Structure formats: structure tokens, C-alpha cells
A and B are shown apart, each in its own frame.
Chain A
Amino acid sequence: MKKVIGSVIGGVVLMTASSAAMAAAAGGPNCGWGNLLFKGSKGIPSHVVAVTTNGTSGNNTFGITSGTNGCDASGTLTYGGRDMVQVSAILDEFSEDVARGHGEALNAIAVMIGVERSDRELFADVMHENFAAIFPDENVTAKEAMVSVNELMKTNGQLSKYAV
């Protein structure tokens, strides 16, 4: 019975709503952040897929993403030996936070690098002061940005212990 009702209701919504909002045919299983400020990603946003069924597309993940979903995987931060944060996916947020000197993306990156809580403010300040070094222009890739972050930590007495 449940299914029957679902079908009837579903049919009408399909007819009426789908053409309006779902007409933009879903893109491929690409990275989905085609709008990035910085280079290093491509493709049509696959958000339509997610919107339609609250679903996921393509490579199935259970914990950590193993595939890159079409995104540039360079500059990926690992945790416990597994890929955790695809910096390229949050480069927009990260660059904004570095420019401002605060924010959740900046904090997440600090945590991933292993910066202790007591040093996070310093980390944020150092990043803020060196925005131009990390993001010299709009064509920086995530990998280049993360290399710069590492170099900056190396040259800071307090932060050098987190550098590799």
C-alpha cells in the first residue's frame, strides 16, 4: 500500500515538477565544483543528482574518498594514511579564510596538519599575514598553496614542528 501511494504521488510530482527544476540534465560524475575561484577543477556541477534523490553518484564512499570524483587530487591531506581533505574542493573557502584571518576552513586545515589548539591562532595569523605568498594569483593550484603553507610553517619557530 505504501508503495502504491508513493507511486501515485510520485508520478504527479514527476510530471509537474521535474521539468521545472530538474531540466538541467545532471552532469557527469565530475568534481562538482566547476565554479572554483582557483584552477584545478573542471566539469559541470553534479548537484542536480544530489538534489533529485538526495543521492550520490559514481564512486561509492564509505568513510574516506578513494576516488577523486573528477577533482584535482593534488594537495590532498591525509589522515591515518587515507585521503581525508581534498583541499582543491575547499580552496574557495580556504583562500577566503586566509584573506580574512579566520574561519572554519582555515581551522579544518590546521587540524588536519596537526596544529595543536594552542597554536591555531598563531597559525591563522601567519597565514593571514602571508596571503600573497600562498595565493599569489588566481591560477594557484591546491598543491602549490599547500606547499607554500608548509614552507611558511618551516620558517616559523613555533610552527616549524608541524612542517614536513
Chain B
Amino acid sequence: MPCLHWRWGIFYGIMKYKQLLITFALLFLSIVQAAEESYVDQLQKEAERKSLWQQSEWLNLLHYRQPDSSLQVFESSVDDDSFFLSEKGKRDPRLELQATLTALFRGFEDDNRQPQCRFVARFHWLSKQLNIKQSNLPKVECKDYNEWRKLVQSEKVTLIFPAYHLNSPSSMFGHTLLRLDRKESEEWSDWLSFAVNFGANVDNSDNSIAYAYKGLMGGYPGQFVVMPYYKKILEYSRIERRDIWEYELDLIPEEADRLVEHLWELKEVNFDYYFFTENCSYRLLELLEVARPGVGLTAEFKVTAIPVDTVRAVERAGMIKKAEYRPSRETVLQSMIAELDQDERLILGQLIEMPELMDKGHFSKLPEEKQLFLAETAYKLLRFRQNKLVRDDNAAKKSHQLLSIINRYPTGSEQQVSRPVQPEKSHHSKQVAVKVGERDNKSYTELGFRMSFHSLEDNELGFLRGAQINIASIRFRYSEEDTLFLQQLDFADIFSLTPRTEFFDPLSWRVRGGMERVRRDGRDRLVSHISGGGGYAWNLGGDGIVYSLMTARIEAGNSFKTYVEPALGAAAGFLLHNTFGTGRVELASEKFTGGEESTRLEYEQNIVLSRDQAIRLSLKREWVPHEQFSELGLSYNLHF
């Protein structure tokens, strides 16, 4: 210490006062800087010592995947340079962590870009792991983040599952999003909570084929979008006619905070998007993994992430506190119409054409509650019919008339819709089947596997009646004379039976494509095909659906002169739901342009043993030119 005094003494002697001040300031700055540098060094060394970069929290925050877990190879799903602080960050979690530590102590032109403000969850996690002294950090004002947090509060997190709807293949799988709620939600309104949705950010100049193609193949970047929940209610309940399930999660405030902090980091950040794998549902699970470290939700979804399976994963992790059901406007309308008797339905049909009939004699004799109920049903039906249409002045006028009529009555109550089985309680998505049977007097054994999802005859609990969507199923058969061979490979097999009623007139349709073994030119041959059909379906009794379709098929096989031939045909069938299972009988026939014909009468009966197990009986009679024969089979199906 005396040495220092001496040196200051010398300095004082030879320098003017002003110079001294400048030198002193510079010296001070360089000391501080050196101290800071060494502090960052210290932190980096400490991070290395603790192998922080290998911890799942860090890997999750940066969305790293390991294509092969035995190798130390990483790649982030985020496809956006702005998300990484190291140039090599996308593939190097270790460098990214070091770069983040360095950047935390660096000044940025705009505080909002400083990692303390921009990457809040990363910053908080590192602070905690390394005990970073706040006083050593540059002072920043996170204006954008703070404003956003004031708005987007999340004392509660709810997982939202808009359920299936017929006639829309992509919605047949369902969808998931999150909702961030205020604690006092009854004081507030769910409508004003924030929905967190991950989806493809599409290019409006593309046509519909390009949409579908790019959406499925990863051609669009995926992004998180945060918007008021009422927009989602309108989208699903009104436009898409899908019921919504709302699962309140048991996240504690600290976990919910972490989720929202991380969500902020993903603002306007591009991800890879694939419809089947790294889709909306997969990304939400990642968010929940960030919220609750160690919960391990994504591990099982290596190939497909079917939304309902991701709900099941969340349920298995014990995170669901309770489920609420929000019926779509169509569901409410259907349940109201179901309460009307034949005469009342007649009145309903007249009311939507001429609302002024409400003031006429026979109507005003009905009890007051019935009048109100009919007027409300008529209004909902009229609006339902206008759905997806351009505004129609006439319908608008009638709608307004009906509202004015509804307004004459005292306040009524909400229509109570009975709650269906929760979708996550349905049978699992994958299926294996073992079948024994006989075809044309020769016995066979068959093994089948289906990637997903649900057939018309499968256990219906938790699904929509009449909706079938199967992706990737394969069956191998071993017959007594042949060896093992491929019997059938379906890429997709979608069947949508939507019954028509006096007030609704939807189309029913099906489409299937792949390879199958069929009788052509005297023997069973493997052919490739795309088959489809369209037509109508009607309810028959409470549990039956009868349908008839015009069908078409394009088939490629060696028995044809031209290799590929189209065919036209027709199909009619009956689907019956019983307490013990579902059965279907169908008669189908088609004729190819080259003259080949085929007619089949089939009966399939599913007998449900448990949620995931069933016995399936199948009988079939086939007629082809010059021969006819039968096939029967009995199979055991297990969903998992």
C-alpha cells in the first residue's frame, strides 16, 4: 500500500488537475472492465465445470433435438438466426451457452434486444444456476417485455383441444393450443384470456394445393402466435363447428411464469413445421417441458404427434386438474332441434323463412318458454346457414327480426348440452391386429399394424360417430399355400359419414389410397389404387346410419391391358352402433373401363372387450367374372 501512495504522489506532482481527472477516470473504467471480463470468464468456467449446456433445461430452452442420443450431435428445431447468440448456436448448445453469458454483459443499442430482455427465460435460468450478481450486469429497461407481461398474465394455464369435425380431414385429428388465464377468471372472462397457438405461417399468395403441400412437408415456417381467446372461440365454434375441450393444468405460478417468459423468447421466431411430427401439439408439449423441467412429455412422439395423444401424455403426467366442455354453435343448435317434436320442427322451418309468423295465431298459443325456445333455435339455424357465406341482406334482415322477437321475452337460460366422453378417454391411436380366417376355402393368418387413428367400427367412445381417419396401415398375410405376403398397405383411408336431416344437408365421402391384394383375372394380385366416393347418409333409428355413394377407382396392376385403368361404381351400407360394439354391412360394385367387374357384400362386426381391445368378425362374399367365393375372418385388435 505505501507503494501506491508513492506512485500517486509522483503523478500528482507532474500532472495538472484536469489531466489527473481524465487519467483517473480511464483507469477506473479499465479496472471495472477487467473485473467484468474476468467475471464473465468466471461464469463461463463455472458453467463448464457444471456442464450446464448438457442439462435438459438448457437443451429445452433452445429446442435442441438429438437425432441420435448416443452421439453428441444436436440440432435446434428453431430455424431463425435471431434466436441464437452464437453463429454456431443452432448446432452447438455449448457455444451458445458461452455466447449467451458474454452477451448478457454486453451493451445493446436497444435494451429490448439485450438478452436480459429478449431471452428472459434463458437469463433467469442462467442467473439461478450460476448465481449471477445482478449488480454486475448492465442496467437495462425491458420496456417491450414489461408491457407485454402486463397484458399477458398467466396465473393459470389451460390446455385447449378443439375436437374433431367431419368433412375436414385436417381437423379430423383435432388440434391443441394453450390458454393463459388470470387467476380470478370468473371476475374476468375466458374470452379475454390469451390463446397461444403454434401453426404454420402461411403465404397468402399460394394456392390451395401449395398450402396443403407446403403445410405437410415443412415448406412453411411455424410460429407461435398469441391472441385473445375469443378469436379462437369464433374460429372453432362458429366457423369450423368444432367442440372445444378445456383442460385446466396444475402448473404452479412459478412454472406458469417460466412458460410465459419462454414464450416471449419465441416471439416472431421461425420453427420447422411438419403437419404430422413437429406440429402444434408437439411444440406445446415442449413449452410445458420448459415450464416443468423433467416432466418428459415429448419423448414418445418421435414419429407422429396426434393431438389427442399429446393430451393423454399431459394427463399421464398428472397435470390435468379438470376438463370443461364448450360445445360448438352447431352442437348447441343440433341439441335444440333434437328437443323439438314434429309439429315444432315444421314451425321452425317456417320461422326461418318468415319470422313475422311469430305474431300469427297458432304460434302465439304456444307456451311463452316454447315461443322463446323456437325463436332462439330459428335464429341459430339461420346464422348457421349463413356460416361461410358472404353477407346476405335478406338473411341479415330476417336474423334481425328474430333477434327483436327474442328480445320481447324475459331473459332465458343457456341451452344445456349433454357432455360427451372426453376425447382423451378414447381408445389409443396405434393398433395391432391378429386375424385368422379362410378365403376361397384356404385358411390364412394375418398380422396388421395401423399407425393411427380410428375406423368407423372401432370403439366409438370419445370419437365422432361416422368419422374414420386412418393413416399408414399395413397387413401381412400367411396362407396355407403361399408364404408370407403383403395383403394391404393403406397410406390414407378416410371416411366421413355425415347424416342429412331436414335442416342439414351435408355430403358424405370417402377416400383411400395404397396397395391391396384383389381378385383379378382368376387370382389374387397386388395392385396400387386410389379409390373414393361421394354421396349421402341418413340417420336410421337412434344408432344407425345408412349411406349410399357413387364411387370411382384408379388401379394399376399387371392384369390390365393398359396397366392403369379407372373404374366407376356404387356402394351402399348401414352402420349400426350397439352397446357391445359397432357393425357395418356394405354392398359395393365397380366396373373398369377394360371390362373387369367386381361386386362385394361385406359385414364387419366389432365387439368391444375394453377401451383398447376388441374382437372383429368379418364376412365377405365376392363376385368377379366367372367365379364367386367367400371369405371369413376373426381378429383380435389391440390399440396402444
Complex CA gap A62/B403 in Å reads 35
Answer whether residue A123 sits at the interface, using C-beta atoms and an 8 A cutoff.
no
**Cβ of B8 to closest chain A Cβ, rounded Å:** 55
CB of A8 within 8 A of CB of B491, answer yes
In the complex, are the beta carbons of B390 and A54 less than 8 A apart? no
Closest 7 CB pairs of A and B: A101-B411, A10-B216, A12-B491, A53-B215, A108-B191, A55-B199, A53-B200
Q: Mark B170-192, 1 if CB is under 8 A from A, else 0.
A: 11000100000000001111111
- Residue of A with least CB distance to B493: A16
A10-B217, A39-B391, A49-B202 known; A104-B189 Cβ under 8 A: yes
Number of contact residues on B: which range applies?
Answer: 35 or more
A10 to chain B, nearest CB (A): 3
The yes or no answer to A75 lying at the interface (CB within 8 A) is no
Q: Which of A36, A42, A55, A104 contacts B220 (CB 8 A)?
A: A55
Complex interface residues of chain B between 214 and 230 (CB less than 8 A to chain A) = 214-218, 220, 222-228, 230
CB distance from B433 to the nearest CB of A (A): 20
Instruction: Answer yes or no: A68 CB below 8 A from chain B CBs.
Output: no
Complex interface residues of chain A between 1 and 35 (CB less than 8 A to chain B):
2-3, 5-18, 20-26, 28-29, 32-35
* Cβ contacts under 8 Å, A45 to chain B: 239, 388
Binding site for A on B (CB under 8 A): 147-148, 150-152, 167-171, 175, 186-192, 194, 197-202, 204, 207-209, 211-218, 220, 222-228, 230-231, 233-235, 238-240, 267-268, 273-280, 302-303, 376, 379, 383, 386-391, 393, 395-397, 399-400, 403-404, 406-407, 410-414, 451, 471-472, 491-492, 494, 509, 511-514, 530, 532
**Taking the nearest CB of chain A, how far is it from the CB of B364, in angstroms?**
19
Contacts of A25 in B (CB 8 A): 207-208
1/0 per residue A76-118: CB within 8 Å of B? 0001101011000110110110111111110110011000010
**Which residues of chain B have C-beta atoms less than 8 A from A124's C-beta?**
411
Number of residue pairs A-B, CB distance < 8 angstroms: 275
Number of interface residues of A (CB under 8 A): 87
Q: Which residues of B contact A13 (CB under 8 A)?
A: 169, 212, 216, 471, 491-492
Contacting B at CB under 8 A, from A63-80, are 63-65, 79-80
CA distance A95 to B404 in the complex (A): 10
| Chain B residues closer than 8 Å to A35, beta-carbon distance | 383, 386-391
| Partner among B192, B388, B511 whose Cβ is within 8 Å of the Cβ of A85 | B192
Instruction: Knowing that A17-B169, A132-B407 touch, tell me 18 more A-B residue pairs with CB under 8 angstroms.
Output: A3-B218, A8-B491, A9-B451, A9-B491, A10-B217, A17-B494, A20-B511, A20-B532, A22-B209, A47-B235, A47-B388, A53-B214, A60-B201, A82-B151, A90-B230, A102-B411, A105-B191, A117-B186
A32 to B388, CA, bound (A): 9
List of A residues within 8 angstroms of B235 by Cβ: 47, 50
Closest to A52 in B: B211
Across the two chains, which residue of chain B brings its CB closest to A24? B208
B595 → A minimal CB distance (Å): 26
Chain B proximity of A101: nearest CB distance (Å)? 3
- Is the Cβ of B190 less than 8 Å from the Cβ of A104? yes
Confirm or deny: A58 has a beta carbon within 8 angstroms of a beta carbon on chain B: yes
Compute how far the CA of A82 lies from the CA of B198 in the bound complex, rounded to whole angstroms: 23
Cβ B383 vs Cβ A92 within 8 A: yes
What is A's interface to B at a CB cutoff of 8 Å? 2-3, 5-18, 20-26, 28-29, 32-39, 41-42, 44-45, 47-58, 60-65, 79-80, 82, 84-85, 89-90, 92-93, 95-96, 98-105, 107-108, 111-112, 117, 124-125, 128, 131-132, 135, 137-138
Instruction: Tell me which of A3, A23, A132 has the highest count of chain B C-beta atoms within 10 A of its own C-beta.
Output: A3
How far apart are the CA atoms of A33 and B406 in the complex, in Å?
23
Instruction: Report 10 cross-chain contacts, Cβ distance below 8 Å, ordered by A residue.
Output: A5-B303, A14-B212, A37-B400, A45-B388, A51-B171, A53-B170, A64-B151, A65-B227, A85-B228, A138-B399
Inter-chain contacts of A16 with B (CB < 8 A): 491-492, 494, 511-513, 530, 532
In this complex, which of B222, B233, B407 has the most chain A Cβ atoms within 10 angstroms of its Cβ? B407
Contact of A107 (CB < 8 Å), options: B189, B211, B222, B513: B189
